[in-house]
Structure 1
Amino acid sequence: MAYTITHFAPETRGRIDAFFNRFGQGMNAYLEAKAHSARIEALEAKTDEELARMGLTRDRIVAHVFRDTYWL
């Protein structure tokens, strides 16, 4: 016969919740950074003329990508 624990002590539940909270925050940060780096690479692959049509210069690519995160 198998037993399953369905009740955790409050301090144990708090530690488990904290672990998954930190793990989730780390995943969010990783995915956001990955998306930003992909966007930067895509813009850097464009020609200067293509960037100019978008109203960008090469030195402003990073600021453009992170404009929603930081006020650059």
Structure 2
Amino acid sequence: MSADNIRIAMGRGSLGQKIDLYFVSIGLGLNPHGLRRARMGEIIRLEMHSDDQLARMGLSRDQILPHVFRDLLVG
């Protein structure tokens, strides 16, 4: 089975939709599939942490995507 067949849902929307909305919010307006696929493991790993664990890492749940894609925002 290919990993592309797996749908990961976070709340009401899928994790893919959450990533799409993040890219739109930073002005990219697209979701580069290669970047998304390459970083999905890190996103999932962080999403699995509790809010307390994220706080100890200096992150909130809303900061996961900016953290994972932080190199795209260098400018």
Match of 1:38 in 2: 41
Q: For residues 38 and 53 of structure 2, what CA distance do their matches in structure 1 show?
A: 21
What stretches of structure 1 of length at least 5 have no aligned partner?
1-28
Match of 2:22 in 1: none
Instruction: Determine which structure has the larger strand proportion and give its number.
Output: 2
What stretches of structure 2 of length at least 5 have no aligned partner?
1-31
TM-score by length of 1: 0.51
Instruction: Determine which structure has the larger helix proportion and give its number.
Output: 1
Q: For residues 73 and 39 of structure 2, what CA distance do their matches in structure 1 show?
A: 12
What is the Cα deviation at residue 70 of structure 1? 2.3
User: Is residue 58 of structure 2 the alignment partner of residue 58 of structure 1?
Assistant: no
What is the Cα deviation at residue 35 of structure 1? 2.2
Q: Which amino acid aligns with 2:69?
A: F
| Alignment RMSD (CA, Å) | 1.7
Q: Percent identity?
A: 44
2:72 is paired with a residue whose SS is: coil
What is the Cα deviation at residue 54 of structure 1? 0.4
- Report the structure number with the largest CA radius of gyration: 1
What is the Cα deviation at residue 42 of structure 1? 0.6
Q: How many residue pairs end up in the alignment?
A: 43
